[in-house]
Structure 1
Amino acid sequence: MLLPALAFFGYFLVYPILFNIYVSFFDWSGLGPVTNFVGLRNYERLLTDHNLRRALFNTFLWVVGMVTVPVALGMAIALMVDGVRGEVFFKSIFFLPYTISFVAIGVMWKWMYYPDYGVVNSILRHLGLGGLARAWLGIPRVNSFAMMAALAWLLTGFAMVIFLAGLRSIPTEIIEAATLDGLSGWKLFRHILFPLLTPFTTLVGAMVLLNTLKVFDVIYVMTGGGPFFSSETIAVTMYRETFLTFRFGYGAAIANFLFVLVVICTIFAIRQGFKREVKY
């Protein structure tokens, strides 16, 4: 039983990674045998590619926005619905977006952002704020934040469910003792709940971080990385270089860079979360 599992793991995970590393040292179009060895030239280009630098900056903005907004909203909603009447209903409503594919989310929010008949601009006009209506996906930098809202809507429900599980894991004796000591509201959250939720915050943060670093579907469906590459992230740039311009070697180098970045960020997030041992 172990040998087939190892063979499956090696063929579908280890081999593609090693082949990708190998291809990154070649100038290959994806057709025919892998030839034209260029050494480290593809990796040198990583340092001088203006579009990649912009994609890296956009990825950084996505990471900051996604690690803060969905995590904070998920925790806040979990605290509000914990133990209230109709909790199952609220959990279902907030978690529902996470069950929808990223592509479907992108299509749905793209319709909502249409300048003429989109839901967002229609609401603004009905509220007398027509001056704020705009082509949300056609303006550089604005389109990135508009797409972040779509992904945040998707990830907030996931964060809420994890934090609700964390709140359930806290012994009621601790909450009762803190209440008897006069802690309530913000003080109870700051001194008791938040420290005890550290492992769950780490889990949510790491999962959101991974989803954000490799975000592709939402961006590609909503803007395609445009206009003029202004909304590209590393994953979108990697796709464009590989499958649209057929520079498989350079695309492989970008993929390796993204892989290393994901590993480093994940290890950092986990180490930060578990520096302090949580004891009940």
Structure 2
Amino acid sequence: MTSALDRRPAAPASPSPGRRPDGPARRPPRRLRDRLAGAGFLAPAVLLVAALLLAPFAVTLYRGFFSDGRVSGFTWFTNYGLFFTDPVLAKSIENTLMWVVGTVALPLVLGLGIAVMTDGARWSRAARLLVVLPYAISGSAVAVVWNFILTSDGAANQALKALGLGSLAQGWLLEWPGNTLVMIVANTWQSTGVAVILFLVGLQTIPPETLEAASLDGATGWSKFWYVVLPQLRTVSVIVVGSSLVNGLKSFDLIWVLTQGGPGRNSETLAVSMYQETFLALRPGAGAAVAVVLTVIVLLASWLYLRRQLTPKGV
């Protein structure tokens, strides 16, 4: 004979730990929901980049494999072979390398030197304003200013003649490589300001304790700067060099306003050659090939530099 307790319905088995009961309204795991939310927030930016950068680059890459005739035929790597047969493009690569070296080294050295000299000085605000002001001016406006200085009857030659140094007066923009060098100086005048700002920010983030400890250890002057201050500016230096590298590779407006790549296309960089080939020489296939090569150089140079600088030591 069974008791009343034995006739009770069995209680439902409790779910095992870490397991949810099946049901029609089960919500997705929290981690999956977070990923979907993040993807939703990133989607507009990704679509914008794809529409404005990746799609035009894909079209340019495709166009570089076709000829420049009225009926464009597929020519494989003929347009890219111009870099080995066209002396104008060979000179353009040479000028681009000069621009990269000049626009990286000069702003780095001058920006660091000015930042160190003006850090904490009484006249630092006025000095910073004078150095940073050209950076707020557009490249075309900077080119107009320097064109007034560098023309044959410009301010530079007039000043040399007034000082009795007329023998040094010359056509600064008329001969290569002098024209390329003075344009690099003009670009440095504009771009040094942002390097000064970045280095000043880096100097202000250095812990005072490290400087005091270095002083107690007997470090002074150059040794203190080289072994204590400069290593702590490594991250800022990476940013300065990286931005200067990219800007040097794609320089266009300053060169175009001052020389238009002349005389005889001797001062062209790859960015100027891309414009010349596409819109003036009406060779869109060759212009597309130059654009692709320039893009690859910028990406490869940036990746190699950042990979080398940001890789932890000992890895």
Tell me the TM-score normalized by structure 1.
Answer: 0.93
- Is residue 18 from structure 1 mapped to residue 58 from structure 2 by the alignment? yes
Q: Does 1:248 align with 2:288?
A: no
Partner SS for 1:197: helix
1:95 matched to 2:110 = no
Q: What is the alpha-carbon distance in structure 1 between the residues aligned to residue 187 and residue 228 of structure 2?
A: 30
- SS of residue paired to 1:43: coil
Tell me the residue number matched to 2:78: 41
**Structure 1, 6-15 or 69-78: larger mean CA deviation:** 6-15
Q: Tell me the CA shift for residue 276 of structure 1.
A: 5.1
Once the two structures are TM-superposed, the CA of residue 51 in structure 1 deviates from its matched residue by 0.8
1:174 aligns with 2:214: no
CA deviation profile, 1:193-213 (whole Å, cap 9, x unmatched)? 111111111110010010000
* Corresponding residue SS for 1:7: helix
Q: Gaps (5+ residues) in structure 2? A: 1-39
> 1:265 matched to which residue of 2?
301
> Aligned partners of 2:99 and 2:46: how far apart in 1?
36
Give the aligned CA root-mean-square deviation in angstroms. 1.6
Could you tell me how far apart the structure 2 residues matched to 1:151 and 1:181 are?
A: 41
Select the residue among 105, 109, 122 that pairs with 1:85.
122
C-alpha separation in 1, matches of 2:230 and 2:207:
14
Aligned residues: 273
Match of 1:61, as an amino acid? Answer: M
CA deviation string 1:61-98 (max 9, x = no partner): 11111211111000000000001113222222111111
Q: Distance in 1 between matches of 2:45 and 2:308?
A: 33
Residue 141 to residue 186, structure 1, CA distance change in 2 (3 Å): same
Contact 2:144 2:258 in 1 (8 A): yes
What secondary structure does 1:54 align onto? Answer: helix
What residue identity is the alignment partner of 2:249?
L
SS at match of 1:178: helix
Please name the residue that 1:6 is paired with. Answer: 46
Mapped to 2, the partners of 1:219 and 1:276 lie a distance apart of 38
Q: Secondary structure at the match of 2:81?
A: helix
Paired with 1:106 and 1:85, the residues of 2 have a C-alpha distance of 32
Q: Is the 8 A contact 2:135 2:191 kept in 1?
A: yes
Give the Cα separation in 1 of the matches to 2:186 and 2:81. 35
Return the index of the structure with the highest Cα Rg. Answer: 2
The answer on whether the counterparts of 2:82 and 2:89 sit within 8 Å (CA) in structure 1 is no
TM-score, normalization by structure 2: 0.83
Deviation at 1:106, TM superposition (A): 0.8
* Pairs within 5 Å for 1:25-36: 25-28=65-68, 35-36=72-73
Q: Does 1:206 align with 2:242?
A: yes
Partner residue of 1:155 out of 167, 184, 191: 191
| Mapped pair 1:131 → 2:167 | yes
- Say which SS state the counterpart of residue 182 (structure 1) adopts: coil
Separation in structure 2 between the aligned mates of residue 186 and residue 192 of structure 1, nearest angstrom: 10
d(CA) in 2 for partners of 1:10, 1:74: 35
**Relative contact order (C-alpha < 8 Å, sep 6+): which is higher?**
1
